[in-house]
Structure 1
Amino acid sequence: MTEDETRLPCQFQVQENEQVVQVSWIKELPDGTKEHIITAHRTEGHTEFGRYSGRVRFESSRSMVNSALLILTTEESDEGKYICHISTFPYGNFERKLSLTVWTFPISSLDPVVLEEGQSFHVAASCRSVARPPPRLTWDTDLPGQAQNRSSEGGAVSTHFSLHPLRSMNGMRLDCLVWHPALEQPRRISNRLVVQFPPDASVTGFDGNWYMGLKEAELRCESGGNPKPKNFTWTRDGKALPDGLTVDGARLLFGRALRRNDTGVYECVVNNGVGTRKVKCNITVTETSRSVQEVIFDTLVMIIIAVAAGVLVIVMIIVIILVNRYHRRKNSKLEMELSKRM
């Protein structure tokens, strides 16, 4: 791995009456030439060459016994073929070749795209990564869409996720996963899909009981949409607002007591940069509040009931008197007839 320490093993098994005189590490370049890295001589000591000076050393102070080479900070350019060259006395030279492959950790990025509802099939996000060996990219999402993968020289890969944007998709997960042998588990680049859509609007605050003299009345323009709307325009009956009314964002404030002429159709126009919505509310201001009207109505009902009850009592009294007189007359007539017969 780049930036890590790399160990290239080399150990020579000496025979009886044999000794190692010199150990050398050489890199074989692609064009066939050779580049000396480091040499250890039994009597003349160690020598480091060129660009390797300060970057390499033998693993052991007894380099004639353990000739392993350490590259202290590995670079991509260190990849290639290496030769461990052993000079002995009296049997001559021996060497072995090693092939070093250098890996790099993935360098990754995710580029999200802001979409609008109603667009055609469109790229929602792009994920890119570069490493040695080339990484593998996948998407972790529940969104219905299609992924397209591409690769280029130098270990660079990319993937693009496309879909038909809907407002219901806004905020849904669209993560990119980077898979590479240098990683114990895939690296997750978190992302949430952004879909912009026009606002919805409704006016709240009017409960049907606005009357002359009511204070601190207000209307509110409730709106959705993405992004959240910040531009609100209020009018009454298609004209400018009356005096004493102020606009505070989505709120229409009545800074004075209500008047009868505050009655009218109030319209809120809301815009969020994606679209515009208009909503109207018909406001009626009465002379008295609904509670006062209900009290008056209840009083009138009680009066009517009382008058009706009084009339009913009078009628009953009259009926009783008439019935009583009728029976008295009838009894008197019967008494006269009996008297005549006797």
Structure 2
Amino acid sequence: MKDPASAKINLAVYNPDLGTNYPTDTGGRIHFRQPSDRDATLVIERLEMADEGMYSCEFATYPDGNQEAATNLTILAKPTNDGTAIVVKAGPAEVPVAVCNSANGKPAASISWSGNVEGNASYVTTKNSDGTFTVKSEYKAVPSGEIDGVQITCSVNQQTLKQPAAIPITLSVQYVPIVIIEGYDDNWYLGRDHASLTCSAKANPSAKSYTWLMNGEAVPSSAHVVGHQLTVNKVTYAVNGTFTCQVTNSLGEGRAKMDVLVREQEVAQSSNARAIAGGVIGGILALLLIIFLVGFFLHKQQSGAAGSYDPKRRVFGTGNGAPQPDYTYRPDSDSEKGPSVTVTPSTTVEGHHSGEAENLLTSEPHDYENYKSREGDEEEGESGIPRGPVVPLPGLHRDEVQMEDDMESQRDGSIISKRAVYV
């Protein structure tokens, strides 16, 4: 039975002895699936909105009487959605510019709008005779040429839809042409070739004609007009004035003006261009200065590290009691090997006769510098000071004494080896 609490419409009956019966004519859409005293499943084909309601299944038993249970059938309807633009003329008042419909849906759909056009939306929901709903939404905005061709989106959300249905709508606003003149660079000078102006227009409906005027009259013969472009082959004072471009469509006429100043000579560069060029040049110079300073300091640091060796300080000590490392002389080859001579922080020389060598090395630095391998020689040093006689170290071989020939005095009083490599 359908709607047992109110109309109580009998739809299907089964009796084990008498068989099946369908009291209500449904065109065969409603019937038992497999009628028996154990299965009373009801099948509804080609579901209609009128089939929605409360259904009750009743068993007549003996001797316990009738047993029944009820269930509610809810029917959903997928809506049909569409959206269109409303063609309007430009004006100051807010009017509907687009409409979106969601028809014959159940439950009623919800509609939203998105886009870069400022406006407001209205909604109207209508319940149809079959229980479905139709929702209509209008988007209202102030119509102008700026929103013509702009796209907005109508989104429909409803229970039967897996995701909201997005409907793009391109607005259509009719208006008189919006005109601008381009191409003037404020550098029209006497004798310039091919100076031109371009008339650009935005219009709905499309522009039909372009007309150029100068100071309200026809353009001079030196100016040639082709469509929306005006060209002056050779600039003279005849084109010094105000140019006007008029554009018309079916709604009316739009116009724009441009004042042209003819100069005696060419302007080399505008102030903006000079400012940009100056900024670029300044940036390049600053970058070069930074690169130079970085390279200079790196070179200075490397030079300082490479030239920080002080032979005099390392051989004779710093004079402040700080310990110094040992420096040991070794011959260049095996054939020249002999007793080693080691200079230590205590300024002693180790060899065959360490005592005599110690007396020599503990003398003043200039005495050590004046020492020569050839006995009896006496010369002037690089500083002009006469060198003393050469006194050989007793007991040392000549190869060992030749080590002293390897030492070269410097102008600052220090000595360095001619062959040794200092790191």
TM (norm. structure 2) is: 0.46
| Structure 1 residues 4-153: aligned runs within 5 Å | 26-28=1-3, 32-36=7-11, 38-59=12-33, 61=34, 63-130=36-103, 131-153=105-127
SS for the counterpart of 2:50 is: helix
Aligned match for 1:157, one of 132, 135, 150: 135
Structure number with higher relative contact order (C-alpha < 8 Å, ≥ 6 residues apart): 1
Identical-pair percentage: 24
1:235–1:165: structure 2 CA closer, same or farther, 3 Å change rule? closer
Counterpart-to-counterpart distance in 1, 2:145 and 2:15: 74
The CA deviation at 1:45 is 3.6
The CA deviation at 1:78 is 0.8
SS for the counterpart of 2:56 is: strand
1:142–1:92: structure 2 CA closer, same or farther, 3 Å change rule? same
User: Within the alignment, does 1:200 sit opposite 2:179 as a pair?
Assistant: yes
Q: Which runs of 5+ in 2 are unaligned?
A: 261-423
Q: Which residue of 2 aligns with 1:230?
A: 208
Structure in which a larger fraction of residues adopt strand:
1
Counterpart-to-counterpart distance in 1, 2:254 and 2:35: 81
SS for the counterpart of 2:118 is: coil
User: Within the alignment, does 1:271 sit opposite 2:248 as a pair?
Assistant: yes
SS for the counterpart of 1:148 is: strand
SS for the counterpart of 1:200 is: strand
1:89–1:174: structure 2 CA closer, same or farther, 3 Å change rule? same
Please tell me whether the aligned partners of residues 122 and 137 of structure 2 are also in contact (alpha carbons under 8 angstroms): yes
Counterpart-to-counterpart distance in 1, 2:4 and 2:48: 15
**Superposition misfits of 4+ residues, deviation over 6 angstroms:** 234-237, 245-248, 263-267, 278-282
SS for the counterpart of 2:78 is: strand
The CA deviation at 1:41 is 3.0
Q: Which residue of 1 aligns with 2:150?
A: 172
Equivalent AA in structure 1 for residue 246 of structure 2 = V
The CA deviation at 1:227 is 3.7
1:88–1:227: structure 2 CA closer, same or farther, 3 Å change rule? same
Equivalent AA in structure 2 for residue 34 of structure 1 = I
SS for the counterpart of 1:77 is: helix
Please tell me whether the aligned partners of residues 201 and 270 of structure 1 are also in contact (alpha carbons under 8 angstroms): no
TM (norm. structure 1) is: 0.55
Please tell me whether the aligned partners of residues 14 and 35 of structure 2 are also in contact (alpha carbons under 8 angstroms): no
The CA deviation at 1:238 is 5.3
Please tell me whether the aligned partners of residues 246 and 253 of structure 2 are also in contact (alpha carbons under 8 angstroms): no
1:175–1:30: structure 2 CA closer, same or farther, 3 Å change rule? farther
1:203–1:138: structure 2 CA closer, same or farther, 3 Å change rule? closer
Counterpart-to-counterpart distance in 1, 2:61 and 2:258: 100
Larger C-alpha radius of gyration, 1 or 2?
Answer: 2
The CA deviation at 1:199 is 2.8
Please tell me whether the aligned partners of residues 80 and 101 of structure 1 are also in contact (alpha carbons under 8 angstroms): yes
The CA deviation at 1:281 is 11
The CA deviation at 1:159 is 2.6
Equivalent AA in structure 2 for residue 177 of structure 1 = S
1:158–1:220: structure 2 CA closer, same or farther, 3 Å change rule? same
The CA deviation at 1:102 is 1.8
